[in-house]
Structure 1
Amino acid sequence: MTSDDAMTKAGFVALIGAPNAGKSTLMNAMVGQKVSIVTPKVQTTRSRVRGIAMQGTAQIIFVDTPGIFTPKRRLDRAMVQAAWQGAEDGDVLLLLHDCARREIDQDTLNIIEKLKKSGRKASLVLNKIDLPPQERLLERADAMSKLYDFERIFMVSAETGNGIDDLKTWLADHMPASPYLFDPEDLSDMPLRLLAAEIMREKLFLNLHQELPYQLTVETESWEERDDGSAEVHLSIYVAREGHRGIILGKQGQSIKRIGSAARRDLEEALERRVHVFSHVKYRKDWMDDSARYSLWDLDYNA
């Protein structure tokens, strides 16, 4: 190890919590740019996404896991297993809780029970502190500290950035001595092809209603670099029912055009260059039971 390496730290921070606790928003705030998709719908994150943040000489690698809930389907089971696997891989474990909720939700209580059995050290991050009255924040912190012996309790708003700097500084102090595990310029280890597919999936989630988003997936068919420095991306949107194609396309293709434009703007902002996005909506009846999809998301088909 060189003398420079001896000064550096690097480690993993696993973010766990119930669906919609704000894990993806927190990770994006820590990294300073979108690396994980964020929607108001639960269970948006399907696989483990890593975001990389630098703080002084420390490299903090955040692992954003799918929300932990009671699984019903094969995909649900694989997502929950990935979340707990992510928790085991972290040097520091953060449990995120939406403190704007009127009471502690059952999913969070279940997570705390599992943490007790595992004997893992964990810190609590009460998120969305800008929403509830002040007294509820203090009551919630007190109630949750009685349920589990948290190493630290932080109060943040991932949305506004309030409290983020204190949390980031504390995490940097708790990273093990290590050479950097990724290039300090990198923000994520997510390949561009997957980032493009995930951003498109986010826009579909935001623009479609009820159950439909859970019945679709997006894959990047091709990514080509053009001579002028721009990129050309072809995305396939797979739906589980033939009737869903028309809903996504919209009248005269207006819906997919609007959604595709929103995805292109986000990609261009992330990559700081022009991107040409072409999307195709395809019917594939059993994509949710296709093992190849699961390996794409780094999920265990047999969970």
Structure 2
Amino acid sequence: MTSSSSHPEEFRCGTAAIVGRPNVGKSTLVNALVGVRLAIVGPKPQTTRHRILGIVTKPQGQILLLDTPGLHAGGARAINRQLNRAARNAAAEADVCMHLIEAGRWTEGDQLVRNVLSDSPHPRLLVLNKVDAQKDKKQLLPFLQKVGSDGFYAGVFLISARRRDGVDTLERAIIERLPVGPAQFGEDEFTDRSERFLAAELIREQLMLRLGQELPYSATVEIESFADNEGGMSEIHAAIWVEREGQKAIVIGKGGEQLKAIGSAARLAMNRLFGRRVHLKLWVKVRENWSDDEAALQRFGYGE
């Protein structure tokens, strides 16, 4: 028997946070669960800087999936404190917490995350990612006994987020642990974030991919205008903010080639995600020490 919304009476809906140290694959798992390339991914820690909501709707329930920045020790700058606050708040608020780690590896960073989760009264799931990288799967057995057999976690799951192995099983386990309640979003919605926000993230992704060695954490993106014209094209003007003039030169590149390449790749990604053509204009601007400036962080959306 179904309700008037076509969902079962025992339909479940709630929040599930993915928490972990940097670079364990949290954003890749979000994208695998949502089925859309929502969260940007990259090889560098702190690629994810915002708490991003991904929406997964199935006949049995709706998961409001929280992607979070990697929890990390140290880092005295304001942006480091803000990233840790975002991750801790998500873990505290979620109905289900997934602790994502690398299969076969437990670090001080993983222990820090476990300590944070000890305050949560809600179910905690231990998720071992990148099992496809394990040549000898038998070696995981003693590891699992060591990290997942003391009752701290309500369940242990082995997955490869990149290949989607084990993701469906994890999805069902999350839904089973959510509270009974109606869906909060439509079946075709995959995030509550605006296209304006997603556009900024796609530009920042290209900065991380192309300039990760030279400019890993000193750049951010601000959308200055976002408008749709009568022909169905979106006109987007964006500023790339860096902290020093030398960094500005790196982003622009010789003859403007680097900035052109960043813009071209970001525009194509927007075309795919938004389902329409985008005209993108980029500028590079300098605001000294923006990543340690609370007012600048608020302006650039890091206080959300």
Which structure 2 residues correspond to residues 73-88 of structure 1 after superposition, within 5 A? 73-88=77-92
Where does residue 157 of structure 2 map in the other structure? 154
Where does residue 274 of structure 2 map in the other structure? 271
Deviation at 1:297, TM superposition (A): 3.1
Task: Tell me: CA distance 1:23–1:209, structure 2 relative to 1, closer, same or farther (3 Å).
Answer: closer
Q: 1:291 aligns with which of 288, 295, 304?
A: 295
The alignment covers a number of residue pairs equal to 297
Given that 1:31 and 1:51 are in contact with CA atoms closer than 8 Å, whether structure 2 keeps it comes out as yes
Report the residue type matching 1:127 in the other structure: N
Q: 2:126 aligns with which of 98, 119, 124?
A: 124
Indicate yes or no: 2:112 matched with 1:107: no
Given that 1:112 and 1:147 are in contact with CA atoms closer than 8 Å, whether structure 2 keeps it comes out as no
Given that 2:95 and 2:123 are in contact with CA atoms closer than 8 Å, whether structure 1 keeps it comes out as no
Task: For 2:16 and 2:101, locate their aligned partners in 1 and report how far apart those are by CA, in whole Å.
Answer: 16
Spell out, residue by residue over 1:49-103, the C-alpha distance to the aligned partner (whole angstroms, 9 max, x if none). Answer: 0000112141111000110001312110111111010001111110000126xx3
Given that 1:48 and 1:298 are in contact with CA atoms closer than 8 Å, whether structure 2 keeps it comes out as no
Deviation at 1:229, TM superposition (A): 0.8
Q: 2:229 aligns with which of 226, 231, 234?
A: 226
Given that 2:82 and 2:302 are in contact with CA atoms closer than 8 Å, whether structure 1 keeps it comes out as no
- Identify unmatched segments of 5+ residues in structure 1: none
Task: For 1:195 and 1:29, locate their aligned partners in 2 and report how far apart those are by CA, in whole Å.
Answer: 17
Task: For 2:119 and 2:78, locate their aligned partners in 1 and report how far apart those are by CA, in whole Å.
Answer: 25
Report the residue type matching 2:92 in the other structure: E
Given that 1:239 and 1:284 are in contact with CA atoms closer than 8 Å, whether structure 2 keeps it comes out as yes
Deviation at 1:138, TM superposition (A): 2.2
What SS is found at the alignment partner of 1:54?
strand
- The two structures have a TM-score, normalised by structure 2, of 0.92
Where does residue 245 of structure 1 map in the other structure? 248
Given that 2:253 and 2:259 are in contact with CA atoms closer than 8 Å, whether structure 1 keeps it comes out as yes
Task: For 2:252 and 2:72, locate their aligned partners in 1 and report how far apart those are by CA, in whole Å.
Answer: 31
Task: For 1:292 and 1:244, locate their aligned partners in 2 and report how far apart those are by CA, in whole Å.
Answer: 18
- The two structures have a TM-score, normalised by structure 1, of 0.92
Spell out, residue by residue over 1:100-154, the C-alpha distance to the aligned partner (whole angstroms, 9 max, x if none). Answer: 6xx3111001222333355553110000110012123223222211466210001
